[in-house]
Amino acid sequence: MDSNTPGKLRSQQWWTGGDYYAFSRKAWLRSEGYTRDVFDGRPVIGICNSWSELNNCNAHLRTLAEAVKRGVWRAGGFPLEFPTISLGEMFLKPTSMLYRNLMSMDVEEMITANPLDGVLLLCGCDKTTPAQLMGAASANLPAIMVTGGPMLHGQWKDRKLGAGTDGRKLFDLYRTGKITDGEWCEIEGGLARSAGHCTVMGTASTMASVVEALGMTLPNCAAIPAPDSRRTTIAELSGQRIVEMVKQNLRPSDILTRQAFENAITVDMAIGGSTNAVVHLLAVAGRLGIDLKLDDFDLISRKTPCVVNVKPSGEYLMEDLFAAGGIPAVMKEVLPLLHGEAITANGHTVAENVASAECYNRDVIRPYDQPLSMEGGTAILRGNLAPNGAVIKPTAASPHLLQHRGTAYVFETYQQMRAEIDRPDLAVTKDTILVMKSCGPKGAPGFPEWGQIPMPKVLLEQGINDMVRISDARMSGTSFGTVVLHVAPESAAGGPLAAVETGDEIILDTANRSITLAVSDEEIQRRLAARPAPPVHYDRGYGKMFLNHVNQADQGCDFDFLRKT
Ligand code: FES
């Protein structure tokens, strides 16, 4: 039995039947001290927990799991917490993105292989959220998510800091000697002061917001700070709700419709969300057979104002957004652009959920007609340099660079860039366009967040803080600058980015959504044909599977065999 059917829970398949294995499953589970009551036909709720000491952003999730259990018991369910792989953004090499699909497989297989009727997903860092969502979408048992919430704001002297946007800005001051070693140590101790994910609108905050917009959490889950007691409360309420969802057989495929994805993209644009949301939403949609495309993001971006004034696009932090009314207040602001009738995890529609939402700070959540920018936070570029698309975040870029013509300075690899970027004789000016290759899903490998190429020291010393940068990498959602990312096909897969040479002219025209290499097609093909084959990074194990099956950025970088056909 693959799923719950009317009048019969899936878990009963494990407990009933009268054979030895039905007996032994119950006997072995009772070794944990449960009474026989747990087999009486109550829904078994898995609590899928990405807690790990190797993931500081998820360090509080065991506590939240206890609150979830209270809710499940109270609603008449039977909670069983289980661990999966966790992906600590700061620790995994070469990049956490290499392992997102692996974690999603772990989540899917542990949900489907165990006696579960529904699942509550506990997560929080950049990749744990999309990985759990992808796995749960494929498993398609009733599911609800509780994200871990943003950490407290950082503190240094009298400054309020947002991890990691302000860390990156301060690092440039440290590189140029404007911050001392002692001060840098103080910043290290004060930037991330609690459990929870990064407190700007980075990838984790974006994904939490987008999951709320998809309808997979209870309303207002995304922005409650991690240490806030109200996060514990919403965890308990979510535990209670998943039991009811099992009884109603409300599954991810009922919630994650095309309308829900369009709502999620609209909210992503309204919050100035991370460019990584594009990759993750494409991957989740692919698990459900929903034909979401890069161009859907651009279409929605063009008509959605960015109304959330949170770093890196704006000035405030996630806890300010929560105090201002959170994602429900944002969704109410852009409600005319949303599918208000879309159903959500609490059984109500989007319009019903946000009807009573209020905004308490009009500088944090701007009025629809006085936005931070008239268009959304993500634009999709195409052209002979990126035939299958590329991504830019105009709200975090320098306006004067969004239309730019410049000469390329090329780094063939990330390693070359790292070795040369601080060279005092680096031949670059403020108009140069930095190009970096071999940073895509296959090339790096794993599609790391190397796309915000550090500003050359020689330019920083002239007081220049931004320039156009282009690569087939991703960038952290906490990053900023005029950075073109996700160029597809990537250079290691034969994309034209591989053909760029230092001195070539490149034209970035964000208004017209184009990125052009001013070199003839014949010359591009000649250069590509002359290039040696890229190195193969793995000849065994998971890495080999990744290289053989990962899709390109414009398809979400999922494995081809995990997408629903
Ligand atoms: Fe986990 Fe930023 S490092 S969210």
pLDDT for the residue 516: 98
14 within some domain: no
344 within some domain: yes
Residues 252, 303, single domain; the answer is yes
Tell me which of 54, 197, 479 to substitute to probe ligand 1's pocket, judged by most ligand atoms within 8 Å of the beta carbon.
Answer: 197
Inter-helix orientation angle 258-270/294-303, to 10°: 50
- Residue 433 sits in a domain whose CATH number is 3.50.30.80
CA of 196 to the centre of ligand 1 (A): 8
Residue with CA nearest ligand 1 atom 1: 125
Q: What is the DSSP string of 331-373?
A: HHHTGGGS-TT-B-TTSSBHHHHHTT---S-TTTB--TTS-SB
> Does 79 have pLDDT greater than 60?
yes
pLDDT for the residue 6: 66
| Ligand 1 nearest-atom number relative to CA 88 | 1
pLDDT, mean of residues 259-283: 97
| 57 within ligand 1 shell (Cβ under 6 A) | yes
pLDDT, mean of residues 160-178: 91
pLDDT tens-digit readout, 295-333 = 999 999 999 999 999 999 899 999 999 999 999 999 999
- C-beta separation of 468 from 405 below 8 A: no
CA of 164 to the centre of ligand 1 (A): 8
Could you give the CA distance from residue 12 to residue 29 in angstroms, rounded to a whole number? 14
pLDDT tens-digit readout, 184-230 = 999 999 999 999 999 999 999 999 999 999 999 999 999 999 999 99
| 449 within ligand 1 shell (Cβ under 6 A) | no
- C-beta separation of 434 from 467 below 8 A: yes
CA of 311 to the centre of ligand 1 (A): 14
| 89 within ligand 1 shell (Cβ under 6 A) | yes
Q: Among 354, 371, 406, where does a domain finish?
A: 354
pLDDT for the residue 4: 74
CA quadruple 278, 279, 282, 288: dihedral positive or negative? negative
Residue with CA nearest ligand 1 atom 3: 89
pLDDT for the residue 477: 86
442 within some domain: yes
Residues 239, 179, single domain; the answer is no
CA of 343 to the centre of ligand 1 (A): 29
Residues 251, 386, single domain; the answer is no
Both structure tokens of 138: 């494929």
| 244 within ligand 1 shell (Cβ under 6 A) | no
Residues 413, 505, single domain; the answer is yes
Number of structural domains found in the chain: 3
| 202 within ligand 1 shell (Cβ under 6 A) | yes
pLDDT for the residue 2: 61
Other C-beta atoms lying within 10 Å of the C-beta of residue 28: 9
Could you give the CA distance from residue 121 to residue 105 in angstroms, rounded to a whole number? 14
> Does 1 have pLDDT greater than 80?
no
Residue 193: helix, strand or coil by DSSP? coil
| 126 within ligand 1 shell (Cβ under 6 A) | yes
> Does 433 have pLDDT greater than 70?
yes
| Ligand 1 nearest-atom number relative to CA 89 | 3
Residues 423, 444, single domain; the answer is yes
520 within some domain: yes
Residues 126, 164, single domain; the answer is no
| 127 within ligand 1 shell (Cβ under 6 A) | no
| 237 within ligand 1 shell (Cβ under 6 A) | no
pLDDT for the residue 565: 83
Domain enclosing residue 124, as ranges: 44-152+194-354
Q: Residue 419 burial (CB < 10 Å; 0-12/13-18/19+)?
A: exposed
Residues 164, 213, single domain; the answer is no
Could you give the CA distance from residue 292 to residue 307 in angstroms, rounded to a whole number? 24
Residue with CA nearest ligand 1 atom 2: 198
Residues 477, 421, single domain; the answer is yes
pLDDT for the residue 478: 85
297 within some domain: yes
Q: What is the DSSP string of 430-465?
A: TT-EEEE-S-STTTTTS--S--SPPPPHHHHTTT--
Q: How confident is the model at residue 459 (pLDDT cuts 50, 70, 90)?
A: very high
CA of 103 to the centre of ligand 1 (A): 16
425 within some domain: yes
- C-beta separation of 514 from 381 below 8 A: yes
pLDDT tens-digit readout, 464-475 = 999 999 999 999
pLDDT, mean of residues 418-437: 97
Residues 393, 527, single domain; the answer is yes
Share above pLDDT 90 across residues of the chain, in percent, rounded to a whole number? 95
529 within some domain: yes
Could you give the CA distance from residue 496 to residue 478 in angstroms, rounded to a whole number? 28
Instruction: Tell me the pLDDT of the chain averaged across its residues.
Output: 96
449 within some domain: yes
- C-beta separation of 358 from 333 below 8 A: no
Other C-beta atoms lying within 10 Å of the C-beta of residue 427: 12
pLDDT tens-digit readout, 95-138 = 999 999 999 999 999 999 999 999 999 999 999 999 999 999 99
Residues 58, 173, single domain; the answer is no
| 108 within ligand 1 shell (Cβ under 6 A) | no
pLDDT tens-digit readout, 504-540 = 999 999 999 999 999 999 999 999 999 999 999 999 9
Residues 331, 387, single domain; the answer is no
Higher-confidence position of 395 and 561: 561
| Ligand 1 nearest-atom number relative to CA 57 | 1
Residues 201, 335, single domain; the answer is yes
| Ligand 1 nearest-atom number relative to CA 90 | 3
CA of 192 to the centre of ligand 1 (A): 10
Q: Which H or E element spans position 161?
A: strand 159-161
Share above pLDDT 70 across residues of the chain, in percent, rounded to a whole number? 99
> Does 462 have pLDDT greater than 80?
yes
